[in-house]
Amino acid sequence: MDIESEVKEIFFEVFPSMPHDEFSWNKKQKDYDGWDSFAHLQLLTIAEEKFSIKLDVEESTSINSAKNLLDYIRSHT
Amino acid sequence: MSVILDFFDNVVDRFPNKTAVITNERECTYQQLAELSNFTATLLSEYQQRKVVSIVMDNTIESIGAYLGTLRAGCIAHLLSQNMSKESLTEQLISAEPVLVLCAQDIIDRIETKSKKMHFDSRTIAHYENERKIVPDDVAYLIYTSGTTSEPKGVGVSHANAVFTTKNIVSVLEYSEEDRDVLPLPLSHSFGLGCMHASFYVGSTLILHKNTINSFELLESIKRHGATTFAAVPATLTKLLDEYGSKMERYFSDLRLVITNSTAIPENTVKSFRKILKKGRLATYYGLTEASRSTFMKFNSDGKESSVGIPAPGVQIKLVDQEGNEVDDGEIWIKGLNVIKGYWKDSSVMNPVEGWLKTGDLGRFDDEGYLYLKGRTDDIINVAGEKVNPQHVERIVKLLADIEEAVAVGVKHETFGQVVKLFVKKTAGSHITKSDIIIHCIKNLERYKIPVNIEFVDDFPRTEYGKIKRFMLTSHR
């Protein structure tokens, strides 16, 4: 599976009730139903394990879209 | 009957030649057991009354003689398992400050203490000459808590506490002189000791096994001795079911009672035992060493498999919220003659409110007054003001097939105050990942209950009795 597909899968795992056609790389945190601080932690925790990376706390707070997370992972793998 | 020896001496008078105890090595009558206790009491007559005598022995006739003789001498019997780690043994001996340590020959060199040590043997004396006056409020025995929620604390149980509890066990579970009681539990623990007291109260025959018995030996013992009662922890019952299934009916057909204790019993175990026990029934109880046998549950019908029953006769239980209001769902408070007066050398930690023992256990009553346990107050995790009961998280995680054991604890978090951390022991050969567990939790738990951190462990720190030391996971994070 390529990185895009894996990141997309993480979003559907953390937001299981999100319909597939509602996913967008540029959709912002505020437009998600349920992307709160807890969901944020879960996104990062799963991403860390799947891509064997350690997310920097400061940087991780700026991640507010699927594209942000994808870019962050690409720059650290 | 106001002290433990009152009921023991009563059965010695009634049934002197009846077999009191059977072990793998030998058996003895009530009269012989009384003589062994007289020997111990004579041995201890050089020590003052109310001094502590530590008894470090396996389940043997000699250990019972040592225990009863210590009570006869008016001393406090500090009961320890021979299988304890050297470190725990030493800690307890330092805390208890015994005048004498009685032990089996084979472990005498392993015991490190400033106190005098003595190998205990089986010599008997018909009469104990130096009768001492023992009063109900005297401490009869000292047992240290297993330490699942905090460091072990010494619990001094008075004769009045023990006699009250024994009468309840006998009356609720209907013990009689006709019983033959198979007991594979350590006598250094409240469960095993309470069962022995019940046998000696009615004058039944005790078939005593060492704690490390195998399943087949246990089942054969039940059959061979025509047992009518059998006491075991839930893990033993579940193991027997796993290994023998419906074949157990052959061994359990004559049992009138299987008694277990309040560690969560799987509902399926309860249901299976109801089928297996043709003439008898499964029962459990809820209690702490500090308030032994506070409830009893006799499993009769479907629907209450996870209850620990109703309060024992003469015992009051109420549920209290954080503000001290009585509620249907809160901390369990207990009041009754089974409640101890204070911990050993530290009565300040008891914190009794008008005679009520605040247990730290959480529970709820159903409409019919049956109590259900829900965890511990000090285990509750406070995530940004939301309360998380770790047992709820653990129950959900354990639905995954690859999880052998899971323990959730609260850990500090800069933003939320606390978050849930999960320790997981995987089943052998499992390839489950942390992500798999988090994804499963996302589907089954509220967001704030989902573990933020998961750590795989080979095993958990455990007490001498195999219970997980949850507080050690909280403190070593």
A14, A36, A41: residue with CB nearest B452: A41
User: Between B473 and B270, whose confidence is greater?
Assistant: B270
B415, B433, B438: residue with CB nearest A42: B438
User: Between B223 and B414, whose confidence is greater?
Assistant: B223
Between strands B139-144 and B154-158, the pairing is antiparallel
- Closest to B43 measured CA to CA, from B17, B19, B70, B14: B70
Confidence at B392, pLDDT banded by 50, 70, 90:
confident
B415, B416, B450: residue with CB nearest A42: B450
Q: Chain B residues with CB inside 8 Å of A38's CB?
A: 447-448, 450
B434, B435, B448: residue with CB nearest A38: B448
Q: Give A39 to chain B, closest Cα distance, Å.
A: 7
Q: Give A8 to chain B, closest Cα distance, Å.
A: 14
Question: Over the Cα atoms of chain B, what is R_g?
Answer: 23
Confidence at B99, pLDDT banded by 50, 70, 90:
very high
pLDDT in tens, B143-197: 998 655 566 789 999 999 999 999 999 999 999 999 999 999 999 999 999 999 9
Confidence at B8, pLDDT banded by 50, 70, 90:
very high
Q: Is the dihedral of CA B389, B390, B395, B399 positive or negative?
A: positive
B103-108 mean pLDDT: 87
User: Between B199 and B475, whose confidence is greater?
Assistant: B199
Q: How far apart are CA B181 and CA A75, in angstroms?
A: 70
A8-23 mean pLDDT: 91
Helix or strand (DSSP H, E) at B140: strand B139-144
Q: Chain A residues with CB inside 8 Å of B438's CB?
A: 42, 45-46
pLDDT of residue B278 exceeding 80, the answer is yes
pLDDT in tens, B445-477: 888 899 988 999 998 887 766 778 877 787 544
B227-255 mean pLDDT: 89
Which of A53-67, B60-74, B249-263 ranks highest by mean pLDDT? B60-74
| Predicted pLDDT at B477 | 42
Judge whether B156 and B104 are in contact, CB under 8 Å. no
pLDDT of residue B3 exceeding 90, the answer is yes
B410-417 mean pLDDT: 82
pLDDT in tens, A38-76: 889 899 889 998 999 888 777 788 899 999 999 989 988
B385: left (phi over 0), alpha (psi -120 to 50) or beta: left
Confidence at B96, pLDDT banded by 50, 70, 90:
very high
| Predicted pLDDT at B351 | 66
Q: Give A26 to chain B, closest Cα distance, Å.
A: 23
Residue B474's alpha-carbon distances to B142, B193, B225, B355, in angstroms, are 28, 31, 46, 31
pLDDT in tens, B323-378: 889 998 899 999 999 999 888 887 665 666 778 999 989 999 999 999 999 888 88
Lowest pLDDT segment from A33-37, B48-52, B212-216, B462-466:
B462-466
Q: Chain B residues with CB inside 8 Å of A41's CB?
A: 419, 452
Q: Chain B residues with CB inside 8 Å of A42's CB?
A: 438, 442, 447, 450, 452
Q: How far apart are CA B101 and CA B111, in angstroms?
A: 9
- Mutate which of B424, B442, B443 to test chain A, going by most A C-beta atoms within 10 A? B442
| Predicted pLDDT at B211 | 67
Decide: helix, strand or coil at residue B262: coil
Kindly report the pTM of this predicted structure: 0.79
| Predicted pLDDT at B327 | 93
